[in-house]
Amino acid sequence: MKDTLARLSQTYGPSGREEEIRSQLCKELTALEKNLHLKTDALGNLIATRPGGEKRLLLAAHMDEIALLVTHIDDSGFLRFTPVGGHDPRILLGARVVFADGTVGTIGREKLKDKEELKLDKLFIDIGAASKAEAEESCPIGSMAVFAPHFSVQGHRLMGKALDNRASCTVLLEVIRNLPPVDYQIDFVFTVQEEVGLRGARTAAYQLQPDLALVVDVTRTGDTPEAPVMAVKLGKGPAIKVKDRSFISHPRVKDLLEETARLHGIPYQLEILERGGTDAGSIHLTGEGIPTGVISLPTRYIHSPAEIIDYRDLQNSVDLLCSFLQHRDLFSSL
């Protein structure tokens, strides 16, 4: 899984421009040789279907990453930008970014007045261009930049950009690799544009109309110095979501996840995320409503150039999902 995650993490794929990461995921799925039916819908979601019985389960993880969109180029070749997804200007300052064509830049700032707060409109991207015309050749207005790719393994800890949410895409691929026999249909959906409003998940759920849905995404932790109080730590198991700002977990789905974890001796945590949300926020409101749950991967420094997860949480998430898929009361109790 580490090699798979390294490949996915370092692939370019900002919200709304997911072509490259979708292509890489297609390669990964094809290499698994599981005879899945692959489809890309009109919005760009990648859907891998395992045919089965009458009931239908949707398993979703978003493939897009946050980005910066060029809005203006000044006469000296410096690029102004607007955020695509959530960005903290304090994290952006000094970060290296890369565009689709491989052009690399760094983020600088204007001089601030005394006690002036650093805001995004004080930042710019420097690609080393000497003029507006030179900058426009590689990074015209509308170009998107993401954090420069890197990936490292340090013991159980994995560090890289876009682990939100390539780590969860890796989990889905590993579940497919180890897929147990089931008597219902499973749609594995790698969604687009989650970072800008849970958009791909909405259209995917509408077209698939599942009886049950599970989302895999990342969540914050409370285990760093002076971190916001939160009962989630790295290495203590996947977190079963209770609530976030866009979603309250279906109580029976949450209970089934907990029951499965206890039955199989899989460590887990309970998550209440006070800021942010996941694709579940769109999925559970589709049609007449879809019973939905979320498995979250504890992650430090989300939306930064160097997010950190624990490999044991990754593996335990796979184990929890594979075991959950075989639960005898999966649909009858909803």
Q: How far apart are CA 331 and CA 231, in angstroms?
A: 30
- Residue 150: which residues within 8 A CB-CB, separation 6 or more? 10, 159, 160, 161, 305, 306
Determine how many CB atoms are found less than 10 A away from the CB of residue 267: 14
323 neighbors 240 (Cβ within 8 angstroms): no
User: Would you give the DSSP letter of residue 14?
Assistant: B
First to last CA, the chain: 33
Longest dimension (CA), the chain: 66
Q: What share of the chain is helix, strand, coil (3-state, %, to 5)?
A: 30, 30, 45
Residues in the chain, total? 334
Indicate the SS3 state at residue 237.
Answer: coil
Q: 194, 195, 271, 307: which is the annotated catalytic residue?
A: 194
The amino acid sitting at 127 is I
Closest CA to 65 of 158, 159, 146: 146
| Residue 65 falls in the annotated catalytic set | no
At 318, list the tokens: 């796979």
Q: How far apart are CA 268 and CA 257, in angstroms?
A: 9
Listing DSSP states for 294-332 in one string gives EEEEE-BSTTSSSEEEEHHHHHHHHHHHHHHHT-TTTTT
List, by residue number, the catalytic residues: 194
